[in-house]
Amino acid sequence: MTVSADDFKKALQLWASGVAVVTTHSEKWGPQGMTVTAFSSVSVEPPQVLVCINDRADTGEGIKESQCFAVNVLNQDQQELSNQFAGGCSQQQRFENTAWQAGITGAPVLTDSLMSLECTVVEKVRAGTHWIVIGEVQSSVCRSGEPIVYYCGAYRQLAAD
């Protein structure tokens, strides 16, 4: 028996996750970025993470060309930024009025995010409609704040102690 796409999506809405913007910069495409919730650590030695990118996402083409990306975990004040990078506007518009700087790999690092990891691609694995992109972390920056969380189709904030 196969689970329907609707049932699968409904089940996944019950998984609370952080929200991140994956960015890259390539000669052909310039700065690119997209909002993701499919991000995870893979290994400590060497430090590696993975992101899942829909094969229709243009940011994936930039990562393919540049072979690097940054994962920028958003803080609780960045819901609008998450929506901006989720689509509906051009790549150029996504970076307008967004504080960022080129990192050591050339990927845009969002300077107001909670945390940023710059990575070089070590492997890409095709899985259904997505690419699982594994990157080795080259740089890590942590900032103060609280994360934004996505749960049941809505943004949430962690409760204070």
Per-residue model confidence as pLDDT tens digits over 40-61: 999 999 999 999 999 999 999 9
Domain 18-155 coded CATH 2.40.30.60: no
pTM of the model: 0.94
C-alpha distances out from residue 126 to 42, 49, 62, 151, Å: 17, 16, 17, 26
Phi and psi dihedrals of 59, rounded to 5? -60, -35
**What is the rounded CA–CA span in Å between residue 132 and residue 141?**
23
Domain ranges of the chain: 18-155
CA dist., res. 22 & res. 17, Å (int): 15
Q: What would the pLDDT profile of 90-127 be if each residue is shown by its tens digit?
A: 999 999 989 999 999 999 999 999 999 999 999 999 99
